[in-house]
Amino acid sequence: MKNFKLFILLTTAITGFNSCSEEEDAIQLLPVQTKQITNLHAPQSGGMGQPVSGDFVKFNFSTGETTTNDKEWDIAFRGTSIIVNGGTSLETIDEPNRTGKGAVYIASGTMASVTEIDTTLLTQDSESNYAILTGGGNGWYDYAGPPTHLISPIAGKILVFKTHDGLYAKVEILSYYKDSPSQPDAFKDGPNYYTFNYVYQPNKGIVIFE
The CA-CA-CA angle for residues 31, 35, 37, to 5°, reads 155
120 Cα distance to chain centroid: 16
Q: What count of Cα atoms within 13 Å lies in the side-chain half-sphere of residue 98? A: 23
- pLDDT above 50 (res 12): no
| Domain boundaries, position 162 | 32-201
Within the chain, residue ranges assigned H as helices are: 2-25
CB 160 within 8 A of CB 132: no
- Three-state DSSP class for residue 19: helix
- Rounded to a whole number of angstroms, the distance between the first and last alpha carbons of the chain is 54
In a domain, 80, yes or no: yes
pLDDT for position 27: 76
Q: Is residue 195 part of a domain?
A: yes
Amino acid, res. 120 = T
pLDDT at 11 over 50: no
Indicate whether 160 belongs to any domain.
Answer: yes
Best CA proximity match to 69, nearest among 56, 58, 54, 84: 58
Other beta carbons less than 10 A from residue 37's beta carbon: 17
Host H or E run for residue 65: strand 65-67
- Closest by Cα among 17, 16, 95 to 51: 95
pLDDT at residue 13 tops 90: no
Q: Using one digit for the tens of pLDDT, what is the confidence trace for 38-79?
A: 999 999 998 777 888 999 999 999 999 999 999 999 999 999
Query: Is residue 110 domain-resident?
Result: yes
The answer to whether 78 and 56 are in contact (CB under 8 A) is yes
Q: Mean pLDDT, the chain, as a whole number?
A: 90
12 is a domain residue: no
Residue type, 12: T
Question: Has residue 100 been placed in a domain?
Answer: yes
In the predicted structure, residue 22 carries a pLDDT above the cut 70: no
pLDDT at residue number 26: 54
pLDDT digits 0-9 by tens, 100-124: 999 999 999 999 999 999 999 999 9
User: Quick check: is 193 in a domain?
Assistant: yes
pLDDT beyond 50 at 85: yes
- By the 8 A CB rule, do 139 and 106 touch? yes
Number of folded domains that form the chain: 1
How, if at all, do strands 33-41 and 191-201 pair? antiparallel
Domain membership of residue 116 (yes or no) is: yes
pLDDT tens digits along 131-173: 999 999 999 999 999 999 999 999 999 999 999 999 999 999 9
The better pLDDT of the pair 51, 181 is held by 181
